[in-house]
Amino acid sequence: MRDLIRGTWLATELFVAPLALFEWSLASISPGLAGSFSVGALLITPAVWWWLVARRRTKGPLRGALTGALCAALILLVPTVRDAAIFAKRASSPEGGFSAASGFTFLVGSWVVGIPIGVCLGALAVFVESAKAQALARRAH
């Protein structure tokens, strides 16, 4: 358990903190948004990061970037599916078509923006972890 926390805390923090800040900043506009992404990130990121990066001996920036993209896609998937069901229900009402279309546009936009951000965060996490490991190795010698 200790290795899991040690190996995943940085990546998890890099994903959860911006999402929590985003949700907090929009709490007055959309109260239903609170926790929908950050809680998902708190659950998804450690599991995926441990499985694909932390337990591996070699941790390159490409592996981190691809894992970051997967984390971002999975984090966005849960609210996307939930919101798609809500939009599908609303589509039967007269103004539901516009609501569904604007919601779909938001969801696609979040994937277009979120996945590249996940790539950057994943690569950053690997870069910081490897720089830290190198600094500790130099200090030990």
Q: What is the mean pLDDT of residues 112-133?
A: 94
Going by C-alpha positions, the residue among 38, 44, 63 that lies closest to residue 129 is: 63
Per-residue confidence (pLDDT) for residue 84, from 0 to 100: 67
| Residue 141 pLDDT grade (very low, low, confident, very high; cuts 50, 70, 90) | confident
Q: Does 16 have pLDDT greater than 90?
A: yes
User: 7 pLDDT band (50/70/90 cuts)?
Assistant: confident
Question: Minimum mean pLDDT among 19-23, 107-111, 112-116, 117-121: which range?
Answer: 107-111
Average pLDDT over the chain, rounded to an integer = 84
Q: What percent of the chain has pLDDT over 90?
A: 43
Percent of the chain with pLDDT over 70: 80
How far from the centroid of its chain's Cα atoms is residue 60's Cα?
Answer: 19
